Structure 1
Amino acid sequence: MRVAFSLISLLFAAALLFGSNGMHSTLLGVRGTLEGFPATAIALFLTAYYVGFIAGCRRAPKIIRDVGHIRAFTAFASIASAAAVSHALLVESWFWIATRVVTGFCFAGLQMILESWLNERATNENRGQVLSVYRVTDFTSATLFQAILPVFDPKSFVPFGVLTILISVALVPVALTRIPAPPVPKSSSLQLRRLWTVSPLAAVGAALIGLSASSYWSMGPLFVSGLGYPAEATGLFIGALIFGGALAQWPLGWLSDRMDRRYVIIGMAAAAVVIALSVPLLAGLGQAMLIVSGLVFGAVAVPAFGLAIAHANDHAEPGSSVAVNAGLLLLYGASACFGPLAASQLMRLFGTNALFWWIAAIYVALAAFGIVRISLREAPKVREEYVPIMRTNTGIFELDPRADPREQEPAPEPEPPEAGVRT
């Protein structure tokens, strides 16, 4: 608890950012539906966010290195705050898509700064505690902010103004913190060949999970409205997804630490298929069943990426967790760009229920690939401990207790050659 208290300023800023970002995505889906935007445009809101997020993962470190953590955090938060309120000033789908790219870029930088800062304060003895507190902050803020969304009229300026205030207030604890700034974070590269060598199931799983997750996060509001529910039901449905995932993280992790993790992934995928096909049926029985179906689906779908990460680390070389995990993250983000587009077209052709038919098909592919891999590869003798993952950013993997501290330290610069010596 002492380490958590010492990091309260950073955790408070993280709560405001995570909560407002989740609320922002849901709000755009609800407002876009009310404005009559086509399903493709609504899908592009989240696709654009992931495009900006991936760009931010690659480019934000240079900005941080040039101006420092606090100045970079201030710049990213200010731009993200302006982008949030600008949606209410110009209600045009093309403008919203462009600003979502900007928002994704900024939030990649913001999360990178916060998570590298937390990692700098963590030690091998308390790294797991820091990660747990950070995850609780993530889950709680995301759930609470989704729950308060129904309080506001989505067609008014108020919810966008609230988002701007929340992001702006997140500046204060970081700007005034006395916690020393961390070393400059390193950008991670996408190494598909290495990921496939380490674990084909984790690599394919990350891509398929990215397709699924981006589909239900972006098109969930359209699914709820298509069933005839009022706008306020959307926030409750998305909040139930998040809360269900939070509840299931540890039970699924505990189970996967005690048996072949591939069987857990396959079992989770099979359960996701059944539940995804059931969601349209249950959700049509009333708002209470809509929330229950979201809760149960979130329990099997949201923890999936953490299981893929743990499985990859079962096979990775010691000290390579950050590189492997960051590569899986970028693979997740790259595939997530296409999920909303595919889901929106299926919903346009076959109705809103097609969203969960599409998700079920993705998990069928994951389960089938897992079965193939089991037939080709034995379980590893040395297994890594499961660590829950909710957010998708490179910085969080440095908090992973499996990470080798030497991996996070920059390599020493070579000494200059002596005079007359050729290199």
Structure 2
Amino acid sequence: MHQIWKSFRALYFASLMMLIGSGLLSTYLALRLAADNVDGLWIGALMAANYFGLVLGGKIGHRLIARVGHIRAYATCAGIVGAAVLCHGLTDWLPMWLLLRVIVGLGMMCQYMVIESWLNEQADAKQRGVVFSLYMIASYLGLVLGQLILVIHPQLGLELLMLVAMCFALCLVPVAMTRRIHPAPLHPAPMDPKFFIQRVPQSLIAVLGAGSLVGSFYGLAPLYASQQGLSTELVGLYMGCCIFAGLLVQWPLGWLSDRYDRPLLIRILAFLLALASLPLALLPSVPVEVLFAAGFLSALLQFCIYPLAVAFANDHIEPERRVSLTAMLLVTYGIGASIGPLLAGVLMKIMGSQMLYAFFSVAGLLLVWRIRPNDVTNLHQVDDAPLQHVAMPDSMSSSPLVAALDPRVDEQVVQDQMVDNVEPQGESEPQPEVHPQDVTQETERKE
């Protein structure tokens, strides 16, 4: 473990700084608009725009990395994201903020792709599970620390935007200073939506529901807590506790997932989510203790749905298709995370802030209705199913390339897909500029 941490600490630090900045930015924008009495529809739209940018970045990132290389792509995106963050302080025009959120999401997805492809390239096949787990811990820890900054600095001034931009500047340093060789370029895995809809429909429904739940939580929970009368410090503490619940539940969830029927677990946890969210949905105002306890339990259950759905899908997909499956799942998640905040924002605008948790309850009941363990035929179940459960970060902090780090995906399968997906030679792509230092590093690696 120590050796793995030492080998990849630069990439983990880059992920940590990115997620500190991202988590702080989401909560800051929600609180800033709430202080200006902007309705929840705009706040939900901002989070939807961020996830739209993440999905868009999944397609653009491959081309950018192939054109200019990993370090230059990462540096470019970090610079663009930092500039977009600071632009929030130059204008209060909300349509411009929507565009800026799309740019931030797009740039961050490209950064995720660089880090994850680098981790996969350098990680030994037997160590990928540990490498993946430490990456997930760094991601969740960054999101939690981003919220806790509000406890230390509750003023909603431009200083927080500067701090977010500083985080994106610092995340550039370890990647720009690395002496490692660029990893091999990864090509986008071909998606076949019709195949996956026919093969794993219930998994896709669960992922869609998880996206709408978690996207609504990140975008609108700060607004809900603010309208409950919490100060900025308590809002940051509330969000930090809820996100920490998502990290805390991953390991006991893995134990349950490996021993019990996964669709049944999804259904049970979705029902428990509906019950846990009910007190906050029915009561327009609750004591702070109840708010923290019910919010912690609701978030804990929300963050269970996506990892279980991913594990359930992998049980019914052949190894050679699992990289494509991950891309399909993340696109589905992004669609849910784009729609959920908009729907919840409309409900909060019309019927009050408690409608956020009413939305969570209804979404949980819809999952109970649509996830039917008895309808699972197991006709296409892989031979070694159920596969070992792997704790998954939510899609706010991962890219389609995260499949390459998944221990359930054979490393040779990933490499074969990379070769198979290379387009036929036609008009050649522009090649990254080669510097003397790059040549020296390549020679040292060969020696």
Q: TM-score, normalised by structure 2?
A: 0.88
Spell out the pairing of 1:247-262 with structure 2 (5 A cutoff).
247-262=248-263
Distance 1:95 1:82 in 2: 13
Number of residue pairs matched? 415
| Distance in 2 (alpha carbons) for counterparts of 1:175 and 1:415 | 32
Residue 187 of structure 1 aligns to a residue whose secondary structure is coil
1:395 to 383, 398, 401: 401
Q: Which amino acid letter does the alignment assign opposite residue 235 of structure 2? A: T
The yes-or-no answer on 1:115 pairing with 2:116 is yes
Shift of 1:323: 1.1
Counterpart AA for 2:49: A
- After the TM superposition, which residues 180-191 of structure 1 pair with which residues of structure 2 at under 5 Å, given as runs? 180-191=181-192
Alpha-carbon displacement from aligned partner over 1:289-332 (angstroms, at most 9, x marks no partner) = 32222221121111211110000011111232211122111111
Residue number in structure 1 paired with 2:445: none
Distance in 2 between residues matched to 1:203 and 1:41, nearest whole Å: 27
Work out whether residues 55 and 106 of structure 2, in 8 Å CA contact, stay in contact via their aligned partners in 1. Answer: yes
Change (3 A) 1:188 1:71: same
Quick one: which amino acid aligns to residue 374 of structure 1?
Answer: N
Instruction: Quickly say closer, same or farther: Cα 1:29–1:203, change in 2 above 3 A.
Output: same
Q: What is aligned with 2:325?
A: 324
For 1:399-418, what aligned pairs fall within 5 Å after superposition?
Answer: 399-409=405-415, 410-411=418-419
User: Residue in 1 aligned with 2:59?
Assistant: 58
The reply to whether residue 384 of structure 1 matches residue 387 of structure 2 is yes
Q: 1:366-381 to 2 correspondence within 5 Å?
A: 366-371=367-372, 373-378=373-378, 380=381
Aligned amino acid, residue 377 of structure 2: R
Is the 2:58–2:110 contact (alpha carbons within 8 Å) kept by the matching residues of 1? yes
Does the 8 A contact of 1:303 with 1:388 survive in 2?
A: no
Q: Provide the C-alpha distance between the structure 1 equivalents of 2:34 and 2:264, rounded to a whole number of angstroms.
A: 39
**Distance 1:187-1:20 versus aligned 2 partners, 3 A rule:** same
Provide the residue aligned with 1:227 in structure 2: 228
Hey, what does 1:420 align to over in structure 2? none
Distance 1:278 1:76, change over 3 A: same
The one-letter code of the counterpart of 2:96 is F
- The separation in 2 between residues aligned to 1:281 and 1:304, in whole angstroms, is 23
Deviates more, 1:88-97 or 1:323-332: 88-97
Q: Secondary structure at the match of 2:126?
A: coil
State the percentage of identical aligned residues.
Answer: 29
Per-residue Cα deviation, 1:104-138 (whole angstroms, up to 9, x for no partner): 11001011111111111112210111011111111
Letter in 2 for 1:177: T
**Aligned equivalents of 1:415 and 1:394: distance in 2?**
23
The equivalent residue for 1:419 is none
**Structure 1 unaligned blocks of 5 or more:** 417-423
Structure-2 separation of matches of 1:100 and 1:414: 32
Query: Contact between 1:282 and 1:289, CA under 8 Å: does it hold in 2?
Result: no
Q: Distance in 1 between matches of 2:334 and 2:191?
A: 11
Contact 2:284 2:354 (8 Å CA) reproduced: no
CA distance in 2: counterparts of 1:218 and 1:363, whole angstroms: 18
Scaled by the length of structure 1, the TM-score of the pair is: 0.93
Q: Corresponding residue for 2:203?
A: 202
SS in 2 for 1:337: helix
List gaps (5 residues or longer) in structure 2.
426-447
The range that moved more, 340-349 or 387-396, is 387-396
After superposition, the CA RMSD in angstroms is 2.0
Q: Distance in 1 between matches of 2:304 and 2:173?
A: 32
